[in-house]
Amino acid sequence: MNKDKLSTAGRTDYQVVGTRPPRHDAPDKLTGRALFGPDTNLPGMLYGKMVRSPHAHARLRSIDTRHAASYPGVYAVVTAQDLQLTEESNSTLDESAVNFKYLHENMLAREKVLYVGHPVAAVAASSPHVAEEAAKLVEVQYDVLPAVTDVRAAMKPDAPLLHDRLITQSLSKPSQRPSNIASHFQHLKGDPSQGFARAEVIVEREFTTSTVHQGYIEPHACTAWWGLDGNLTVWTSTQGAFGMRDQLAKLLSHPMSRIRVIPMEVGGAFGGKLPIYIFLEAVAALLSRKANRPVKMTMTRAEVFLATNPTSGAYLKAKMGVTREGRITAAQAELYFEAGAYPSAHVIGYFGFAMAFMFAPYDIPHGQVDAYDVVVNKPRTAAYRAPGVTQVNFPAEQLIDELAVKLGMDPIAFRLKNVVREGTELMNGTTHGSIGAEEVLRAAQSSAHYGSPLHGPHRGRGVAHGYWGNWGARSCCTISVNGDGTVSLVSGSIDLSGTRTTVAMQAAEVLGLSLDRIKSSVGDTDSIGYTEMSGGSRTTFATGIAAITAAQDVVAQMRGRAALLWGVEVRDVSFERGVFTTQRGSEQQMTFSEVAGRLAETGGAVTGTGNVDPQGWGGVFGTHIVDVQVDPETGKVDILRYTAVQDVGKAVHPGYVEGQMQGGAVQGIGWGLYEGYQYNTRGDMLNPGFLGYKIPTAPDVPMIETIMVEVPGPNHPFGVRGVGEVPIVPPPAALANAIYRATGVRVTDLPMTPVRILEAMGVI
């Protein structure tokens, strides 16, 4: 994108950006009118239900669907036999983001089931209850195999093999024998042995983190209608309508133009509804084609836990060395991530994030990070808000805290002594661009919270600091001018938490219109250009640039119309804050609305388009401060005070930025203290519900104080950076550091439950 074109560059006297207007979608969501994934109702609609494996690891011997198919009210039954494997989908060495063989097998098992809940068949029936009854009539014969659900056990030479032909891709070289280790990557910077030789204090520990779920309250749900004309329409709750369409096209060998994905409101996603994986939509489509009716599929909460895409548990080893003056000389880590049943789809991306960002907040001359992707008999894992980074921040920031204690330094002062700046090289060989690492740490240091005293027994204050790199990628936005001077803005970005508004606010700034004159909506795949999924904190940044570009296109076209009306050259028409002016001849002015009212007589409609793929998005830092009190008898952790400090670029809507910081922090608190999949030796998940898998409730947390530090992003006209992900990164480490200062013991396993805290304290 040509930055010179952006008339708004460098301006700070914003009219709309930086204000707190109400959301476009709020009235519908407050009155119950908003339609989410499960809210589709069509005439003649059937209800689909998956048949799922009760075993964590088994070979499929046979599937008999005859009884289910003849059950009254059943219209269709499908198995993996109904999914045609294409040549591409047979490839096991697909270098693209998605391995279609695995995607197929995860959707409907073909030879083996690899986790409890793995789908083996599906039925469509006249009611959800009939579908449930019919699903029980599908007879499946299994040869049960031993299961392995722990990353360390899965790496042992005698571990049960999930995939008979899985060859480790180790540093680009294949291994000799099959194993559960799908891949091994390494980042190396400088000479770590030399770095550790120079160190005067070295700390080294092992850590574990549990499998955790994104925990969106809306279960996955979709409705598919495959018409006799070959047109397939899918209503679904997804983070990416186009990604979903393209995946369906490949899975079903169907032209993209014949598939229309209509995105519904999304009831929480956090990476768990990226279209990288498909659970229901293709199956609902197959059922619909067979039944010649629309088919709705909705997961139960147990199905969401058992058979969607939680994020990896991990076994982590980390080591850091420092001089007596407090300069970090070297860092090293080994990261063993549970991939779940299939190798990670985004192997390079996912582990790239963890490997590159683990030590990204610090200027460390020598380092090495090795990461392993290991399959286990659990559901396939996927992204969860800043994917991979919360897990590795937990060890990194505990070691930093431990070093600060050993050196007798203030933990923020120690971090500042090693802070990264523009040009500092990361472990992956890239360098930091324009960043706000130092500004964020200084804001934390001078915060009211950090300056306040904390008295009382069993209390402690912890700090942690983390980084997330954000994303850009393709976005499309169109703006159509209406005759009354209002505009209709459509973008392809799924709105997860207010981006309809933050995108429209940026267009409003360019058009000089008040926000209430912009109707902002999300298009379906037939109505707007290709737009990447909402993820990587990209939407307000990238789709914002698309909206700015579309608005500039509108202004350019309307300057032409004004020129026509005045009989002057386009270059003689200027535009400022919603008013067109010419100095040619006598000075004349027309408002945006006045020109809009005369489009019909000057050449027809005006629609501005922004199709962008912006690069150079800026990463962000978050520093969290937490005060806890630990009950020495029960091990319960009470959070007394919590402050999140963050580099936010330019906060387009400060209220929503605060909301991202608060929500991310509380998810991180859940990860730190409560959440984790529990398994028995057979591989059954023991807590597939919100009763056993506890997420934070309102009484568990205090108000979350927020401090937004505006260090403009370098490649957005208003300085926008992504803000949504980094707030989940520091909380577990901040809590661990606070617990250490309250109790004198380090808890190195997540979640830090009362039992684990009491064990660490030697009480039990």
Pairing of strands 119-125, 74-79: antiparallel
Q: Which of residues 557-586 bind another protein (CB under 8 A)?
A: none
20 binds another protein (CB under 8 A): yes
Of 6-14, 442-450, 540-548, 699-707: span binding another protein (CB under 8 A): 699-707
Pairing of strands 181-189, 366-375: antiparallel
485 binds another protein (CB under 8 A): no
The least distance separating another protein from the CB of residue 55, rounded to whole angstroms, comes to 24
State which amino acid sits at residue 620.
V
675 binds another protein (CB under 8 A): no
Under DSSP, the state recorded for 362 is B
The least distance separating another protein from the CB of residue 494, rounded to whole angstroms, comes to 11
Q: Which of residues 368-407 bind another protein (CB under 8 A)?
A: none
The least distance separating another protein from the CB of residue 658, rounded to whole angstroms, comes to 8
The least distance separating another protein from the CB of residue 718, rounded to whole angstroms, comes to 19
Torsion of CA 429, 435, 437, 439, to 10 degrees: 160
d(CA 167, CA 177): 6
Nearer to another protein, 42 or 201 (CB): 42
Nearer to another protein, 305 or 372 (CB): 305
666 binds another protein (CB under 8 A): yes
Q: Kindly tell me which residue out of 69, 167, 454, 695 binds another protein, with binding defined by CB under 8 A.
A: 695
Would you say 134 and 49 are in contact if contact means Cβ atoms under 8 Å apart? yes
Of 413-421, 505-513, 677-685, 692-700: span binding another protein (CB under 8 A): 692-700
Q: How far apart are the first and last CA of the chain?
A: 61
Nearer to another protein, 31 or 172 (CB): 31
Nearer to another protein, 431 or 690 (CB): 690
For tokens 């995939």, the residue is: 163
265 binds another protein (CB under 8 A): yes
Of 122-130, 329-337, 397-405, 565-573: span binding another protein (CB under 8 A): 122-130
For tokens 């939407």, the residue is: 539
Tokens of 220: 């996955």
Of 391-399, 527-535, 675-683, 685-693: span binding another protein (CB under 8 A): 685-693
Q: Kindly tell me which residue out of 15, 35, 86, 754 binds another protein, with binding defined by CB under 8 A.
A: 35
Q: What is the DSSP string of 414-442?
A: HHHHTB--TT-B-TTS-B--S--HHHHHH
Q: Which of residues 63-92 bind another protein (CB under 8 A)?
A: 73
Would you say 293 and 127 are in contact if contact means Cβ atoms under 8 Å apart? no
d(CA 134, CA 519): 45
Which of 207, 260, 142 is closest to 528 using CA atoms? 260
448 binds another protein (CB under 8 A): no
Within 10 angstroms of residue 673's Cβ, the number of other Cβ atoms is 26
44 binds another protein (CB under 8 A): no
For tokens 């979350």, the residue is: 704
Task: List, in order, residues 6 or more apart from 192 with CB less than 8 Å away.
Answer: 330, 331, 332, 366, 367, 368
Residue 559 three-state SS: helix
Question: CA of 100: how far to CAs of 141, 648, 729, in Å?
Answer: 26, 37, 31
Nearer to another protein, 216 or 580 (CB): 216
d(CA 225, CA 242): 17
d(CA 158, CA 418): 44
Within 10 angstroms of residue 164's Cβ, the number of other Cβ atoms is 8
Residues 335-354 as x/- pattern, contact with another protein by CB under 8 A: --------------------
The least distance separating another protein from the CB of residue 237, rounded to whole angstroms, comes to 9
d(CA 346, CA 98): 7
The least distance separating another protein from the CB of residue 695, rounded to whole angstroms, comes to 6
29 binds another protein (CB under 8 A): yes
Q: Which of residues 603-642 bind another protein (CB under 8 A)?
A: none
497 binds another protein (CB under 8 A): yes
Pairing of strands 487-491, 518-522: parallel
For the chain, the residue count is 764
Residue 560 three-state SS: helix
Of 181-189, 461-469, 472-480, 665-673: span binding another protein (CB under 8 A): 665-673
The least distance separating another protein from the CB of residue 240, rounded to whole angstroms, comes to 16
The least distance separating another protein from the CB of residue 666, rounded to whole angstroms, comes to 3
d(CA 153, CA 352): 24
The least distance separating another protein from the CB of residue 107, rounded to whole angstroms, comes to 23
Would you say 660 and 708 are in contact if contact means Cβ atoms under 8 Å apart? no
Nearer to another protein, 663 or 676 (CB): 663
The least distance separating another protein from the CB of residue 655, rounded to whole angstroms, comes to 4
d(CA 390, CA 311): 10
Residues 268-297 as x/- pattern, contact with another protein by CB under 8 A: xxx---------------------------
The least distance separating another protein from the CB of residue 431, rounded to whole angstroms, comes to 33
Binding site for another protein (CB under 8 A): 20, 22-23, 25-27, 29-36, 38-39, 41, 73, 127-130, 214-219, 265-270, 298, 300-301, 496-498, 653, 655-656, 658-659, 662-667, 689-691, 695-699, 701, 703-704
